[in-house]
Structures are given as structure tokens and as C-alpha cells.
């Protein structure tokens, strides 16, 4: 069965079911024949035999009694034979039942004990089965005779002859309806499955352009919807993979071009002064550092996303960590004449990896400064909200489009489509932030509009302990 196709398996199941139905019907009819028809005949024979024999107990089997029994034989549906002894029975019924004599020694013994004997079997001369019984007639001095009542059995075809046309009509109608239902199910089920198979081949070959129409809400429709979603997801992943490849090539090509160009210039000694040579070396150093940071960020992001990083969880005085991180940006803040507004609760403590939480603060502050307008304002808030510590940083500068907000945090995704080198960065900073927040069971959200500016909000679980834990 495992090697057969689904439609062949269903065909086998269907025809097996029909065959089982026919076989069951056959045995059911035979059950009706044997259990109802034959049982009713047997009960009737026993009743009539006992009733007839009981009328003549303690008397003699005279010619008058025999004549009455013969008259009953004429008006009854049964054949009745009355004899004085068992030897005469073979004269009146000279046939074998199932090719054996009618009375054997065991039957004779039962009759002498006053018990009746049932006889059933095939009689060749009648060309059919018979069912009968021999009843002893008792007198005052013992057995005075025997009554043999029998009836040729009607064949099963004769018993159901009246119902066979009905069965044929009903059976034909049943199979016509069954054929129509199966045909509808066949088309309804296997046509969309065939379409799914064809689409799956297209998807396996990298063609994600087609989608199947969803015309039903059953399991096939749900499968179609799921397959469409899978195809769309694969198409999006393929697009992002191409974009990622393009981005990584760009991010590597630019610094390598600078390094290669300035190295060749130094090698050929095309510089005109020592100061120009120093500038070349400074650029090579900066681009080398940029490459090193890009590689480190990629390694960090892979470790975080694959859950290979083992966090060193400990109580952190998060406010002090934030203030210490801000010290790294004092020069940049002064260079852009940015006003910094703080609203922080100094008693807050969380449980986390101090290096990674520092990385969250560093990357978000770095982004806020890069994309802020000169003479702008950066607002930072750190407060307890229910069972969490909420960190919020807001600036006014480059507004992120609504369609780009959901992609913030993807590798190399940056809203400055031209990749302006003035802002710098690798496009991995917020990706790393989102993964660190996820590993700390926190939540990351970002909003942006021209009125309120761009706001990054991060919520981390609050650690309720006495005092503030120092960090190192």
C-alpha cells in the first residue's frame, strides 16, 4: 500500500468496501433463510407433529384415525405419513436423505424412548432439501405407530423471489448514486491535489509566481491555503536571501576597494606628501576596522539566532549601566550639538547578561545619534512598568516609512536606501538588539512618524530584589 499512489489506494478501499457490502448482503440473506425461514418451518413441524401425535395417545391406531390423518394431509401444507411400525415407513418414503437411510439405530432408540427425531437433508428424487420429523404415537401397551411429517424446502431463490426485483432495482439505484458521489469526490479531491502537485514542482524549481485559487473551506482548502502561504514565504525568503547576498557583497566590496586602492597607491608611491600617505593609511585602518566589526557582528548574530550563545545571567543595576554607556557617546553628542534628555529611575534591577544589555544600549544610542538632526533632541526614559523595566529612546530625524517598520531588525536592512556612508554602520545593529531582547524574554517595538519622531521601546523582565546589585 505504501508504494501505491493515493488515488489507487482510495480505489482499493472503495472497491474493498463494495465487495464487503456484497459479501455481507449474501451472508445476511443466507442468515434470513436459515435462521428465519428454516427455523419457522422447524417450529411449525414440531408443533404440528406433537399436536397430531397427542390426539391418539392411549388408543389404537385404527383405520378411522389413519383416515383422519390422511385427510389432514390433504388440507395441510405438509406431507404426513402414518405407519404402524418403522419398517413400513421405508415403504411409504423409499428415499434416502443425504444419501443415507431415513432411520438409523440411534434414531430408532430415541423413538422407542418416546422422543421425536428431526430429519433434514437433500433428497435426490425431489432435487431439493427436505425438513421433517418422526413422532412416536404411544398407546396403553407402548408405541402403536409413528407419524412422519416432512416438507420439501423452498430454495433460497424461491424464498426471496418476490424481493429480488426490488433488491435489483434498489441495488442498481444505489450503485448509480454511489458512482455519481464517487465521481464528484474524485474530481473534487484529486483535481486540486493534482494542481498542488504541479505547483509544488514549480516551487521546487524556484518559481514562486503562481498561487492556487481557494474555492473551498474543507481540509483540501486548508491545505491549499497553507501551501500558498508556504510558497509566498519561500518567495519572500528567496528575495531576502538575494538582498542579503547583494548587501553582504556591497558591504565587503566597498572597504576592500578602499583598502586595495590605497594599498596599491602606497605601493606605487603615487602620493605627493607624507601627510597624504598618512591619510591613505588611516583610511585603510578605518576600513579594516569596519570589516572586522562587520564580521564580528555577523558572528554575534548567528550565535544569537541559533541559540548557541550561553548568557551569563546576573542582577544588573540597569540605570548605572545605561549612564556608563552614554559616556562613550559624549564626543558624538557634542559634535552634532544634540540635547540629551533623561528620565530614569536609579533603583531598577534586572537579571541579564551585562555585556549583551550594554550592547543593546550601545546600538540603540548609536542609531539615535546617527539619524538625529543636528541641534536635535534625544529623549531616553528608563522606568518600571508593571512587571517589566521599560527602556525608551526617541529622536527626531530620519522618519522610517510604515512599510519599512516591519523590516527593522533584518540583516543589513537600512532605511537609507542609498547606503549613505556618512551614517556608516553595517545594518546589523538592531538585528542584534532584537535577538538579545528575545533571549532575555523581552519585547522590542519601534514606531516612527514626522510628528513624534522615531521611538524604540524595549521591555525586559523586572528583578524584584532588595538593594541594587553592582556590575562589573
Q: Is residue 112 part of a domain?
A: yes
Q: How many residues does the chain have?
A: 472
**Predicted pLDDT at 434:** 86
CB within 8 Å of 250: residues ≥ 6 apart: 419
Q: Is residue 470 part of a domain?
A: no
Q: Are 445 and 294 in contact (CB under 8 A)?
A: no
Whether residue 384 sits in one domain with residue 258? no
Q: Structure pTM?
A: 0.48
Whether residue 375 sits in one domain with residue 281? no
- Rg (C-alpha) for the chain, rounded Å, is 50
Q: Is residue 425 part of a domain?
A: yes
CATH number, domain with residue 209: 1.10.287.130
What does the pLDDT look like over 345-374, one tens digit per residue? 988 999 988 988 988 998 899 889 988 888
- Please say which residue of 309, 339, 369 terminates a domain: 309
CATH number, domain with residue 149: 3.30.450
Q: What is the SS3 string spanning 396-450? A: CECCCCHHHHCCCCCCCCCCCCCCCCCCCCCCCHHHHHHHHHHHCCCEEEEEEEC
**Predicted pLDDT at 307:** 63
Q: Is residue 182 part of a domain?
A: no
**Predicted pLDDT at 468:** 42
Whether residue 87 sits in one domain with residue 54? yes
Whether residue 272 sits in one domain with residue 318? no
For residue 261, give its domain range.
199-309
SS3 106: helix
Whether residue 437 sits in one domain with residue 314? yes
Whether residue 264 sits in one domain with residue 146? no
Whether residue 83 sits in one domain with residue 153? yes
CATH number, domain with residue 387: 3.30.565.10
- The residue ranges of the chain whose pLDDT is under 70 are 1-10, 30-35, 55-76, 154-164, 167, 186-189, 240, 243-248, 250-251, 254, 301-310, 407, 409-427, 465-472
Q: Is residue 218 part of a domain?
A: yes
Q: Is residue 173 part of a domain?
A: no
**Predicted pLDDT at 121:** 86
Q: Is residue 164 part of a domain?
A: no
Q: Are 444 and 437 in contact (CB under 8 A)?
A: yes
**Predicted pLDDT at 161:** 54
**Predicted pLDDT at 460:** 94
The conformation of residue 55, written as its DSSP 8-state character, comes to: T
| Residues in a beta bridge with 135 | 147
Q: Is residue 169 part of a domain?
A: no
Whether residue 265 sits in one domain with residue 378? no
Number of domains in the chain: 3
Amino acid at each position: 500500500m505504501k508504494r501505491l499512489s493515493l488515488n489507487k489506494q482510495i480505489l482499493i478501499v472503495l472497491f474493498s468496501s463494495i465487495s464487503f457490502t456484497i459479501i455481507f448482503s449474501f451472508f445476511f440473506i443466507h442468515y434470513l433463510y436459515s435462521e428465519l425461514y428454516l427455523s419457522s418451518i422447524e417450529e411449525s413441524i414440531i408443533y404440528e407433529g406433537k399436536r397430531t401425535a397427542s390426539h391418539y395417545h392411549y388408543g389404537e391406531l385404527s383405520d378411522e384415525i389413519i383416515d383422519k390423518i390422511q385427510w389432514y394431509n390433504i388440507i395441510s401444507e405438509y406431507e404426513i405419513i402414518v405407519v404402524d411400525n418403522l419398517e413400513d415407513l421405508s415403504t411409504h418414503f423409499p428415499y434416502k436423505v443425504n444419501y443415507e437411510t431415513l432411520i438409523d439405530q440411534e434414531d430408532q432408540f430415541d423413538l422407542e424412548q418416546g422422543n421425536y427425531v428431526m430429519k433434514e437433508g437433500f433428497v435426490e428424487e425431489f432435487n431439493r432439501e427436505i425438513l421433517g420429523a418422526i413422532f412416536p404415537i404411544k398407546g396403553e401397551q407402548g408405541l402403536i405407530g409413528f407419524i412422519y411429517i416432512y416438507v420439501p424446502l423452498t430454495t433460497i431463490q424461491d424464498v426471496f423471489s418476490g424481493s429480488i426485483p426490488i433488491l435489483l432495482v434498489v441495488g442498481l439505484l444505489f450503485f448509480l448514486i454511489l458512482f455519481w458521489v464517487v465521481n464528484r469526490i474524485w474530481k473534487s479531491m484529486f483535481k486540486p491535489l493534482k494542481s498542488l502537485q504541479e505547483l509544488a514542482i514549480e516551487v521546487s524549481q524556484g518559481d514562486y509566481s503562481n498561487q492556487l485559487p481557494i474555492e473551498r473551506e474543507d481540509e483540501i482548502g486548508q491545505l491549499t491555503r497553507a501551501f500558498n502561504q508556504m510558497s509566498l514565504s519561500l518567495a519572500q525568503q528567496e528575495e531576502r536571501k538575494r538582498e542579503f547576498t547583494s548587501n553582504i557583497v556591497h558591504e565587503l566590496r566597498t572597504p576592500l576597494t578602499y583598502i586595495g586602492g590605497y594599498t596599491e597607491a602606497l605601493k606605487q608611491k603615487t602620493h605627493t606628501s607624507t601627510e597624504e600617505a598618512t591619510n591613505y593609511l588611516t583610511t585603510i585602518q578605518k576600513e579594516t576596522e569596519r570589516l572586522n566589526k562587520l564580521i564580528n557582528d555577523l558572528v554575534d548574530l548567528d550565535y544569537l539566532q541559533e541559540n548557541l550563545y550561553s548568557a551569563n545571567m546576573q542582577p544588573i543595576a540597569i540605570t548605572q549601566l545605561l549612564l556608563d554607556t552614554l559616556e562613550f557617546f559624549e564626543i558624538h553628542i557634542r559634535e552634532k550639538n544634540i540635547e540629551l534628555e533623561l528620565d530614569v529611575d536609579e533603583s531598577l534591577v534586572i537579571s541579564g547578561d551585562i555585556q549583551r544589555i550594554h550592547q543593546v544600549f550601545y546600538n540603540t544610542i548609536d542609531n539615535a545619534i546617527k539619524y538625529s538632526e543636528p541641534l536635535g533632541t534625544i529623549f531616553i526614559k528608563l522606568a518600571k512598568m508593571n512587571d517589566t523595566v521599560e527602556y525608551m529612546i526617541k529622536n527626531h530625524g530620519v522618519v522610517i516609512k510604515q512599510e519599512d517598520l516591519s523590516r527593522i531588525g533584518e540583516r543589513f536592512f537600512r532605511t537609507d536606501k542609498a547606503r549613505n556612508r556618512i551614517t556608516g554602520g553595517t545594518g546589523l545593529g538592531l538585528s542584534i538588539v532584537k535577538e538579545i531582547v528575545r533571549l532575555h524574554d523581552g519585547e522590542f517595538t519601534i514606531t516612527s512618524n514626522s510628528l513624534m519622531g522615531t521611538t524604540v521601546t524595549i521591555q525586559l523582565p523586572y528583578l524584584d530584589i532588595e538593594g541594587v546589585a553592582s556590575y562589573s
